[in-house]
Amino acid sequence: MGVIKLRVAICGGGIAGLAHACALARYPDISVNIYESTDKFSPFGAGIGVWPRAWNVLCALGLGEDMAKITSGSPTSSPVQSFSFRKSDQPSGFTFGNMFSRGPLLTFHRAQFQEVLVQHLPPSSRIHHSKRLKSYSQGRLGCPIRLLFEDGTYATCDVLVGADGIKSAVRNCLFQDQTEIAREIGRPADEQKTLTCKDHVSWAGSIAYRALIPVERLKEDCDQGLLVLPMTPTMYVGTDVHMVVYPVSKGKEVNLALFHFRPELQGMPFHGPWSKGVDESELFDIARFESWEPEVQRWLKYVRRPTKWAIHTVVDLPTFTSGRAVLIGDAAHSCSPHQGTGAGQAIEDAYFLAELLGDPRTTLNTVQQALKVYDKFRRPWTQDASAKAMANGRYLTLHYDGFDFVHADAAAVVQKLHELSDVMIDEWKWCWTTTVEDSLKAALSQLQYA
């Protein structure tokens, strides 16, 4: 190994942390240590989707070929139908919109996705399992950052990347740090308060139920023409509830996610565990599914022991960095899953930050400035993406423009649904009409020599 200019510690080996380590692999003058709290990589959840914007990043990282082997879609940049929207909370449902995108939403089994990232970790990066970060401290004048783990051990680094998800320990410390700085320099108390992190995690008022269904179990209904395997992800839309169904594991399994949105509970405290396995019968208490279209009822019949998630979000952090610590992925901007962009945004952060750290102008002396550039570009972008995902969750549960979808007459409902479909597509198209490279180029131009 040659001369090392920066020692990076990544806290958290989820999608963001692993993607960041893969992205840093191209810079041999940066050493990488990953500290992961679990004793082995054990991704939660079922399916994830990746839009062309993030797919292009995976390709830039050299992961495209191996990822293409495990996706259920076909990577292409041609126009494809990426979603179909159905009004389903009535006995005969109907399709009210089809979304076409330049390149598909590529869907993956989360464990397989993470496995490919692990396979691409550079041999020089070291993974430390069963290392749950408790806190860190950093001296102001370029001294190493000191990491303290729950097991009482320590480590040091030059740059700490907090990729430790929505309940981020790095974020807690980072905002304590920021609050102290605010106090030291005499900022007003209300400004200090906005820096306390606990105010930034809140319940989205939404619960998700997720399950994977082996396709072979569906055979009988499919053979009888009662169920059609979704080649295109389908959104079944109803008041307060929507469900999405799409293939994963190269078509061997179907990912089903059902969302129950209670707008009046948004921002309220959530009592109980954020995620747990539940009995499938719980699903049938959410809505009067017996009055929904039969296709939905058939899908629900196949759900066994779904995982229930209370969707929490991290919104409007006033900064993603303090000193030489920085946040990426869900730790920085966990968003609701309604545009399928959380993992994609984590991958983008991972790449963006690696390019700034890897640039020859970034050294131990200038790294804080590089982190500020990362914050300047990525924070507004990801926060805007979170707002769009949140709005999409409202649209998909028929909270749109104050319109009463339950009592309005059928013709007015159809007209409003078409309008809604246009709005959703318009607010979604950034996922395939924009690229990370443009803003990265602008960010790199703002790096300065020491």
- Minimum distance from CB of 228 to ligand FAD (Å)? 21
Beta-carbon contacts of residue 376 (< 8 Å; ≥ 6 apart): 443, 446
In the bound state with ligand FAD, the residue whose beta carbon lies nearer, of 159 and 343, is 343
Pair 403, 315: CB distance under 8 Å = no
Nearer to ligand FAD, 182 or 205 (CB): 205
> Least distance (Å) from ligand FAD to the CB of residue 328?
7
Q: Which is nearer to ligand FAD, 6 or 211 (CB)?
A: 211
Tell the smallest beta-carbon distance from residue 152 to ligand FAD (Å): 14
Q: Report the alpha-carbon distance of residue 53 to residue 430 in Å, rounded.
A: 8
Shortest Å, Cβ 336 to ligand FAD: 8
**Footprint of ligand FAD on this chain (CB under 6 A)?**
11-17, 35-38, 45, 48-49, 132-133, 163-165, 169, 208, 210, 309, 311, 329-331, 337, 340-344, 346
- What's the length of the chain? 450
Helix (H, G, I), strand (E, B) or coil at 354: helix
14 or 52: CB nearest ligand FAD: 14
Minimum CB–partner distance for residue 29 and ligand FAD (Å):
25
CA distance 77 to 100: 12
Nearer to ligand FAD, 157 or 182 (CB): 157
- Residue 44 CB, nearest distance to ligand FAD (Å)? 7
Question: In the bound complex, what is the minimum distance in angstroms from residue 13's beta carbon to ligand FAD?
Answer: 5
69 CB-contact burial (10 Å; exposed 0-12 / middle 13-18 / buried 19+): exposed
Residue number, nearest CB to ligand FAD? 14
In the bound complex, what is the minimum distance in angstroms from residue 231's beta carbon to ligand FAD? Answer: 17
Of residues 148 and 414, the one with the C-beta less far from ligand FAD:
148
Buried b (16+ CB within 10 A) or exposed e, 167-195: ebbbbbbbbbbbbeebeeeeeeeeebebb
Q: Which two tokens stand for residue 202?
A: 């809140």
In terms of phi and psi (left: phi > 0; alpha: psi -120 to 50; beta: otherwise), the region of 201 is: beta
Q: For residues 343 and 398, which CB has a smaller minimum distance to ligand FAD in the complex?
A: 343
Residue reference for tokens 């920066």: 6
Cβ neighbors of 26 (< 8 A, separation 6 or more) are 354, 358
Quote the least distance from Cβ 108 to ligand FAD, whole Å. Answer: 9
User: Residue 380, Cβ neighbours under 10 Å: how many?
Assistant: 11
User: Which residue, 15 or 424, is less far from ligand FAD as judged by CB?
Assistant: 15
- Are 334 and 166 in contact by the 8 Å Cβ rule? The answer is yes
339 phi, psi to nearest 5 deg? -115, 5
Number of neighbouring beta carbons within 10 Å of residue 360: 10
CA-to-CA distance for 77 and 256, rounded, in angstroms?
26
- To the nearest whole angstrom, how small is the minimum distance from the Cβ of residue 407 to ligand FAD? 31
Shortest reach from residue 201's CB to ligand FAD, in Å: 13
* Closer by beta carbon to ligand FAD, 133 or else 211: 133
Nearer of residues 35 and 299 to ligand FAD, judged by Cβ: 35
* Alpha helices, DSSP H, located in 264-317: 294-301
Nearer to ligand FAD, 72 or 405 (CB): 72
Nearer residue to ligand FAD within complex by CB, 13 or 93: 13
- Residue 103 and residue 433: Cα distance in Å, rounded? 10
**Within 10 Å of residue 422's Cβ, how many Cβ atoms?**
11
CA distance 364 to 6: 6
CA distance readout (Å), 106 to 211, 234, 250, 262, 326? 18, 14, 11, 29, 29
Min dist CB 98 to ligand FAD, Å, is: 19
Alpha carbon distance 50, 82 (integer Å): 11
264 membership: H or E segment, kind and range: none
For strands 79-87 and 234-238, give the pairing.
parallel
